[in-house]
């Protein structure tokens, strides 16, 4: 699809070149029917068709170019058919810019099977017993054809297959959708990873075939880009194989429009794993990394060739009074902020920081006022979107390495209380 494809702009020439000698880090443009996304870009998560507690106007104002909603949640409630009748996700949630949905695979497997913690940053310290609950408590079961699971809301039994996920995501109508894949954890054996990867490869082919069919059936709808998801855990050979398989995959002339890099990633291996995958993937297609929001992770992933990111953490932690700042993260509910009449984060240009003090935010959280979550979310999403925007600017204008060094040094010193 030339019209809605990915256009590479600038290369990150200063960073360490990849094995092939070509730099992996880059800027670019993803073209969608609801506007272009300049990359690298951070995409806020609106799981149930809302970034919790914040009006779409505010999300626009912070500069978000897209939001990502979740197929699993919207399938359970209100139902993908209702979103379809509303004119698709963007119309339904009053968001005019680009939209993403994930395939539901992650939620089906992570909520369904009761994995407590699967993501990299939350991973360290968990034990095998934390990760795998007893079989009788499990709510999801994988077979070669799909996943059978019980709703975490009603307990009702459902089944997701690649075809079901594609149909749901076509009804939801997001600009960028993801292939249905199996989530594994770092606790699974290599043998299981191999078996799972082969299942995900076959599911990817079925997703392409169904996507092509649905695109033809629904010709009046705007074109949706389908991203394949690269799994393979921490194994270099498996990651590279998955990237080569999906990168060159074609079913009836339909190939993937971009790629997601999925699965459990340990923080210390993040750049390495993204690099293996991006070296194998075609250069002219976008790469989305699921689930990161830490400043050092953005730099590592962007250098390794990732283009877009989503993560629920900026809004989730905001609701717990955790505030992101260039000098590290702090919790505004702490007593020392009771009489602190400085802006929440001095120098930040977001609505919250230009209108409210730390003392007010401290009070609003203590009093359990709804506005506390709203204002903190606006700030954290603004901080994260702006950080990635600033990285993009630094690549385009040739000062990436200096920007990275300064940003990370300041963040690590974590002297937020004094500034
Ligand atoms: Zn702010």
Q: Which of 165, 272, 185, 271 is nearest to 227 (CA)?
A: 165
What does the block give as tokens for 381?
């999403």
- Evaluate if residue 384 carries a pLDDT over 90: yes
315 CA to middle of ligand 1, Å? 13
Residue 187 has what pLDDT?
83
pLDDT 10s digits, 63-106: 999 999 999 999 999 999 999 999 999 999 999 999 999 988 87
What does the block give as tokens for 417?
């209380």
Residue-averaged pLDDT of the chain = 90
Burial (CB < 10 A; 0-12, 13-18, 19+), residue 155, is exposed
- Evaluate if residue 121 carries a pLDDT over 80: no
- Evaluate if residue 27 carries a pLDDT over 90: yes
For residue 40, cis peptide bond before it (omega within 30 degrees of 0) = yes
326 CA to middle of ligand 1, Å? 11
Q: Which of 352, 333, 350, 323 is nearest to 416 (CA)?
A: 323
Residue 135 has what pLDDT?
46
Q: Does 310 participate in catalysis according to the annotation?
A: yes
Residue 414 has what pLDDT?
75
361 CA to middle of ligand 1, Å? 12
Residue 136 has what pLDDT?
43
User: Could you tell me the pLDDT band of residue 291, with boundaries at 50, 70 and 90?
Assistant: confident
Q: Which of 340, 339, 240, 172 is nearest to 19 (CA)?
A: 240
- Say how far apart CA 240 and CA 251 lie, in whole Å: 21
Mean pLDDT, rounded, for 278-307:
95
User: Could you tell me the pLDDT band of residue 14, with boundaries at 50, 70 and 90?
Assistant: low
Which range (7-11, 177-181, 339-343) has the least confidence?
A: 7-11
331 CA to middle of ligand 1, Å? 14
- Neighbouring-strand partners of residue 150: 157
User: Could you tell me the pLDDT band of residue 265, with boundaries at 50, 70 and 90?
Assistant: confident
Sign of CA dihedral 338, 340, 342, 346: negative
**pTM recorded for the entire structure:** 0.91
What does the block give as tokens for 294?
């830490």
352 CA to middle of ligand 1, Å? 5
Residue 339 has what pLDDT?
98
Which range (50-54, 146-150, 152-156, 383-387) has the least confidence?
A: 152-156
From 84, 175, 310, 327, active-site residue:
310
419 CA to middle of ligand 1, Å? 14
62 CA to middle of ligand 1, Å? 9
Protein residues with C-beta less than 5 angstroms from the ion ligand 1: 345, 348, 350, 352-353, 379
191: Cβ–Cβ under 8 A, 6 or more apart, which residues?
Answer: none
Residue 354 has what pLDDT?
98
**CATH architecture for residues 6-311:** Alpha-Beta Barrel (3.20)
pLDDT: is 109 or 189 the higher one?
189
Residue 340 has what pLDDT?
98
Q: Does 102 participate in catalysis according to the annotation?
A: yes
348 CA to middle of ligand 1, Å? 5
71 CA to middle of ligand 1, Å? 30
User: Domain residue spans in the chain?
Assistant: 6-311, 322-408
From 84, 102, 181, 257, active-site residue:
102
Q: What is the DSSP string of 238-300?
A: HHHHHHHHHHH--BTTB--SEEEE-S---GGGHHHHHHHHHHHS-TTSEEEEES---HHHHHH
Residue 137 has what pLDDT?
54
384 CA to middle of ligand 1, Å? 10
What does the block give as tokens for 367?
């009093």
- Evaluate if residue 2 carries a pLDDT over 70: no
- Evaluate if residue 111 carries a pLDDT over 90: no
Residue that has been written with the tokens 């949706």 in this structure: 224
pLDDT: is 125 or 384 the higher one?
384
Which range (119-133, 274-288, 305-319, 373-387) has the least confidence?
A: 119-133
Residue 3 has what pLDDT?
54
- Say how far apart CA 394 and CA 344 lie, in whole Å: 26
């Amino acid at each position: 699809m030339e019209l809605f494809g990915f256009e590479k702009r600038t290369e990150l020439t200063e960073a360490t070149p990849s094995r092939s000698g070509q730099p992996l880090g880059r800027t670019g443009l993803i073209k969608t029917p609801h506007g272009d996304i300049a990359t690298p870009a951070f995409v806020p998560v609106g799981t149930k068709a809302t970034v919790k507690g914040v009006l779409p106007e505010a999300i626009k104002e912070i500069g978000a170019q897209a939001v990502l909603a979740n197929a699993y949640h919207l399938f359970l409630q209100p139902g993908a058919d209702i979103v379809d009748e509303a004119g698709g996700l963007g119309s339904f949630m009053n968001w005019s810019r680009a939209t993403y949905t994930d395939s539901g695979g992650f939620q089906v497997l992570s909520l369904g099977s009761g994995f407590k913690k699967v993501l990299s940053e939350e991973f360290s310290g968990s034990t095998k017993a934390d990760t795998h609950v007893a079989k009788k408590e499990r709510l999801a079961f994988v077979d070669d054809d799909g996943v059978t699971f019980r709703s975490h809301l009603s307990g009702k039994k459902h089944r997701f297959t690649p075809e079901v996920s594609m149909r749901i995501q076509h009804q939801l109508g997001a600009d960028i959708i993801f292939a249905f894949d199996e989530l594994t954890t770092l606790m699974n054996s290599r043998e299981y990873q191999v078996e799972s990867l082969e299942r995900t490869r076959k599911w990817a082919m079925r997703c392409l075939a169904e996507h092509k069919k649905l695109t033809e059936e629904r010709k009046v709808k705007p074109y949706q880009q389908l991203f394949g998801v690269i799994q393979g855990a921490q194994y270099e050979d498996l990651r590279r194989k998955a990237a080569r398989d999906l990168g060159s995959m074609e079913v009836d002339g339909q190939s993937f429009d971009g790629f997601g890099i999925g699965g459990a990633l340990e923080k210390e291996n993040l750049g390495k794993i993204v690099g293996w995958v991006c070296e194998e993937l075609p250069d002219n297609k976008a790469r989305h990394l699921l689930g990161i929001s830490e400043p050092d992770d953005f730099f590592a992933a962007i250098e390794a060739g990732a283009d877009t990111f989503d993560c629920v953490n900026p809004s989730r932690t905001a609701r717990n009074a955790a505030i992101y700042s260039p000098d590290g993260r702090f919790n505004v509910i702490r007593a020392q902020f009771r009489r602190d009449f400085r802006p929440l984060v001095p120098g930040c240009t977001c609505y919250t920081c230009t209108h409210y003090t730390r003392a007010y935010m401290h009070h609003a959280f203590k009093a359990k006022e709804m506005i506390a979550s709203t204002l903190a979310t606006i700030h954290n999403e603004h901080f994260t979107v702006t950080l990635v925007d600033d990285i993009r600017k630094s690549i385009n204008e040739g000062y990436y390495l200096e920007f990275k060094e300064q940003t990370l040094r300041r963040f690590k010193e974590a002297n937020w209380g004094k500034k």
